[in-house]
């Protein structure tokens, strides 16, 4: 059974992956070739990297006194963003890169973050709740943050991270190998989780109509991280199964800002990272009109038309909420202190789930089959994880143990081989309709 699961996990995404990869690779080759012809790829990238950001308001008049001689090896970051990494990001919605700056620089970055924390420059992170037209802020108990890009005092206290802030290589490489992106600004947030269970509830980082953020890049700084510390980043590349990523020192995780549902599991030890949000131009983002929905299929019977409809971004985000309704609820409870505002957040979540369920009921029985298949894969993941827990090494990015809602009855001790194969086949078919960017 375990082997069957591993096999399916590997096979999963091949249909989707191969097509998207082929497309991505042909685009990369075109872009790379044309640049090489004109002035040499390396030279072009270097030249771009040295050009100041034209549209960064914070670059004007802001203090950039760097009080250190240490230099962040930014050329290593450039080398880390390969065509393969970008193809992976495009095909799966996320990519993991290890050994980005090397352990010495990664450690220096951690020291800077601790310095910012100790200098009192961090504030509590809040979940933003929009209810009845008003935004309510719900504090997370143990998670502290500082907006480096927006605050000169933070940049001065963290000169190495400020070097990253002033550099544009990351965006340039992503634009180069994912030509559908037009990233032209970035913002860095530093984060320190004090441990003691600090975590983030399930969320998407942004919405296409809200702002221009398209790629989230998180760089982890935790030299002594162990599985018993928890605090993994859990991604939900639905309909592919959830994936847990260990927050290891010098690891960069990239994912699709508006389309990748994610959370941070409770951390039992202090945990640090910084997040870079890479954005497309404001004018483009602000001027974007909502895309009209595809015409709904004639019936809710399973069909390519139904999967295409359910997997378009505006609908898929709601289907994700249904698929993970229970875990979503638990993640809200785990991330916030027990109080009225948390109760309010739970109420809002339940109302949304009920409304989505009702609105999408016309897409039954296909939707139910999709959610059941996701639950089957999830149950298999849980069974596999339970069996392998002790033996698993550190530093892995593995299929996770979340719990989907949907009809998983009878699957708690792991589905049968046949159920699993059927579920994987369906999910692969549906996944072919997901576009990450």
Ligand X SMILES: O=C(O)CCC(=O)C(=O)O
Q: Does 329 bind Fe ion (CB under 5 A)?
A: no
Pick the stretch among 52-60, 102-110, 121-129, 202-210 that binds Fe ion (CB under 5 A): 202-210
- The option from Fe ion, ligand X, none interacting with 191 (CB < 5 to 8 A, set by class) reads ligand X
How does strand 271-280 pair with strand 123-131? Answer: unpaired
Q: Measuring CA to CA, how many Å separate 57 from each of 60, 62, 127, 230, 310?
A: 6, 9, 26, 38, 39
Nearest approach in angstroms of CB 255 to Fe ion is 9
End-to-end CA distance of the chain: 34
Q: Does 262 bind ligand X (CB under 6 A)?
A: yes
Beta carbon nearer to ligand X, 235 or 306: 235
Q: Does 112 bind ligand X (CB under 6 A)?
A: no
- The option from Fe ion, ligand X, none interacting with 375 (CB < 5 to 8 A, set by class) reads none
Q: Contacting ligand X (CB under 6 A), which of 31, 82, 275, 396?
A: 275
User: In the numeric block, which tokens belong to residue 72?
Assistant: 């962040």
Residue nearest to Fe ion (CB): 205
Give residue 150's region: left, alpha or beta (phi > 0; psi -120 to 50). alpha
Q: Considering only residues 204-223, where is the footprint of Fe ion by CB under 5 A? A: 205
Q: Contacting ligand X (CB under 6 A), which of 160, 218, 322, 426?
A: 218
Q: What is the DSSP letter of 238?
A: T
**Which strands, in side-by-side order, build the sheet including 233-236?**
198-203, 261-267, 233-236, 243-245, 397-399
Taking the C-alpha atoms of residue 191 and residue 207, their distance in angstroms, rounded to an integer, is 22
Pick the stretch among 199-207, 232-240, 309-317, 343-351 that binds Fe ion (CB under 5 A): 199-207
Closest CA to 2 of 381, 379, 378: 381
Q: Does 280 bind Fe ion (CB under 5 A)?
A: no
Q: Which residues pair with 398 in a beta bridge?
A: 244
User: Cβ(411)–Cβ(289) under 8 Å?
Assistant: no
Q: Contacting ligand X (CB under 6 A), which of 16, 20, 78, 191?
A: 191
Beta carbon nearer to Fe ion, 199 or 323: 199
Nearest approach in angstroms of CB 189 to Fe ion is 10
* Residue ranges that bind ligand X, judged by CB under 6 A: 191, 200, 205, 218, 233, 247, 262, 264, 273, 275
């Amino acid at each position: 059974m375990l082997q069957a699961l591993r096999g399916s996990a590997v096979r999963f995404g091949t249909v989707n992956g191969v097509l998207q990869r082929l497309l991505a690779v042909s685009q990369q080759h075109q872009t790379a070739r044309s640049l090489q012809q004109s002035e040499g790829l390396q030279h072009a990238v270097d030249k771009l990297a040295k050009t100041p950001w034209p549209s960064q308001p914070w670059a004007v008049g802001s203090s950039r006194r760097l009080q250190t001689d240490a230099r962040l090896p930014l050329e290593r970051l450039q080398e880390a963003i390969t065509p393969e990494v970008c193809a992976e990001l495009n095909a799966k919605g996320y990519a993991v890169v290890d050994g980005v700056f090397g352990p010495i620089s990664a450690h220096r970055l951690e020291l800077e973050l601790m310095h910012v924390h100790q200098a009192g420059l961090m504030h509590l992170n809040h979940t933003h709740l929009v209810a009845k037209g008003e935004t309510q802020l719900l504090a997370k108990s143990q998670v502290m943050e500082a907006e480096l890009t927006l605050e000169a005092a933070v940049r001065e206290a963290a000169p190495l991270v400020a070097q990253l802030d002033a550099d544009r290589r990351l965006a340039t490489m992503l634009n180069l190998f994912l030509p559908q992106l037009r990233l032209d600004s970035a913002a860095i947030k530093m984060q320190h989780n004090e441990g003691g269970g600090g975590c983030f509830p399930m969320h998407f980082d942004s919405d296409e109509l809200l702002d221009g953020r398209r790629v989230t890049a998180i760089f982890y700084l935790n030299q002594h991280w162990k599985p018993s510390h928890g605090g993994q980043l859990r991604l939900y590349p639905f309909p592919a199964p959830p994936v847990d990523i260990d927050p290891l020192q010098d690891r960069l995780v990239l994912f699709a800002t508006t389309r990748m549902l994610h959370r941070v599991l409770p951390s039992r030890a202090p945990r640090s990272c910084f997040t870079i949000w890479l954005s497309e131009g404001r004018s483009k983002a602000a001027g974007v009109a909502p895309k009209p929905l595809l015409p709904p299929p004639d019936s809710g019977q399973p069909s390519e038309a139904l999967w295409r409809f359910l997997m378009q971004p505006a609908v898929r985000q709601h289907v994700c909420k249904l698929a993970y309704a229970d875990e979503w609820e638990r993640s809200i409870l785990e991330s916030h202190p027990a109080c009225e505002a948390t109760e309010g957040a739970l109420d809002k979540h339940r109302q949304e789930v009920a409304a989505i369920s009702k609105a999408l009921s016309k897409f039954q029985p296909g939707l139910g089959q999709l959610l059941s298949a996701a639950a089957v894969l999830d149950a298999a993941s849980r069974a596999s994880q339970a069996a392998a827990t002790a033996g698993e090494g550190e530093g892995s990015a593995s299929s996770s143990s979340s719990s989907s809602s949907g009809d998983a009855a009878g699957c708690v001790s792991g589905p049968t081989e046949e159920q699993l194969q059927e579920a994987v086949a369906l999910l692969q078919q549906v996944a072919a309709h997901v576009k990450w960017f």
